[in-house]
Amino acid sequence: MRNSPQNSKITMAHGSGGKLMHDLIKKLFLQKFDNPILSSLSDSAIINLNGNPIAFTTDSYVVNPIFFPGGDIGKLAVCGTINDLAVVGANPLYLSCSVVIEEGFEYELLEKIIDSMKVTAEKAGVEIVTGDTKVVERGKGDKIFINTSGIGIIEKEDLSVENIKVGDRIILNGSIGEHGIAILSERAELGLDVNIESDCAPLNDLIQSVIKISNKVKFMRDPTRGGLATVLNEIVENRNFGIILEEEKILVKEEVKAVCEILGFDPLYIANEGKVVIIAGAEDAEKIVEVMRRHPLGKDTHIIGEIVDEPKGLVCMKTRSGGTRIVDMLVGEQLPRIC
């Protein structure tokens, strides 16, 4: 990276969830802050406090626009961090809230955002217990950035890519791409007239309902930046197995499809904020789907694919037309600042 002059400056793609971001994280952060907890590159770190396994995670939210159909930056900041805790098997308990506000930002909007954080946190059963406020000069920020970090107690241990076996099923709780397209549709310059709401939601309750009834859950992840395709590629990377998806089981709402077609996007790479990928033993897959469908956030749950022996390290998809295609990792920038 340091030897390629075209990469000597940070670009938008370094934050888009694709390959460039992963390279940056691996070549810089992981190498410098070298420790096994960080290197696991899990959605949350799992640390040991006096013998108790605790999940700890952080995310800065820079979404633009800050208000969008189905949510706002405050709701997103609470849900995103809750979800990062929930997918590692933790019961999310406490959040921090640190804001960087641009000078001149309307007090009324700040209040609206804080209200939204409050309501979302209450619904999800977490408390915001510590915070920080910074203000930067006009033109040195963009309205508001929010960092939330979170702590939860691990209730389901040993979730790991290492546990995944050929034959395991891949379960997803509904249709994809709504968050990214909702954000995009709000960007004035595009002049899109669509009506798609972000799927932004706290998944801790849905996930706990699964953990409660099955001990065959191997691994979970929320397909946010980079979308479903990126998460699945991260799972198979350098592994002794691959993934085969069934296109017809991966739901995409008509309006999301339409916008993607206009703009040349693939919904597989569009961010979600209320979806979870669960990889579980085949024997429990149907039972898990059943329980998830009973939850308001899991009504459209499907088994979307399975773990296969070959081709190793690749995500493939059986298309509706009967063919098979490789679902590769996103290289650069697709949609900037969607979270």
26 touches a second copy by CB under 8 A: no
The least CB distance from residue 119 to a second copy, in Å, is: 9
* Contact between 44 and 152 (Cβ < 8 Å): yes
Token output for 170? 């891949």
The least CB distance from residue 22 to a second copy, in Å, is: 10
Whose CA is closest to 225, among 146, 65, 72, 337? 337
The least CB distance from residue 234 to a second copy, in Å, is: 15
The 3-class SS string of 256-293 reads HHHHHHHHCCCHHHCCCCCCCEEEECHHHHHHHHHHHH
99 touches a second copy by CB under 8 A: yes
3-state SS, residue 176: coil
Among 29, 237, 263, 299, binds a second copy (CB under 8 A): 29
CA atoms 325, 329, 334, 339: torsion sign: positive
Whose CA is closest to 118, among 102, 106, 129? 129
Nearer to a second copy (CB atom), residue 14 or residue 19: 14
* Contact between 305 and 245 (Cβ < 8 Å): yes
* Contact between 173 and 298 (Cβ < 8 Å): yes
190 touches a second copy by CB under 8 A: no
14 touches a second copy by CB under 8 A: yes
Nearer to a second copy (CB atom), residue 93 or residue 314: 93
CA dist 24 and 21 (Å) reads 5
CA dist 110 and 234 (Å) reads 36
Nearer to a second copy (CB atom), residue 80 or residue 298: 80
Beta bridge partners of 127: 94
Chain positions 101 to 120 lying near a second copy, rule: CB under 8 A, are 101-108, 110-111, 114-115, 117-118
Binding marks (x or -) toward a second copy, 30..69, rule CB under 8 A? --xx-x-xx-----xx-x-xx-x-x-xxxxxxx-x-----
189 touches a second copy by CB under 8 A: no
Binding span for a second copy by CB under 8 A among 90-98, 190-198, 301-309, 310-318? 90-98
9 touches a second copy by CB under 8 A: yes
The least CB distance from residue 80 to a second copy, in Å, is: 10
Chain positions 125 to 154 lying near a second copy, rule: CB under 8 A, are 127-137, 139-142, 145, 147, 149, 151, 153
Nearer to a second copy (CB atom), residue 108 or residue 193: 108
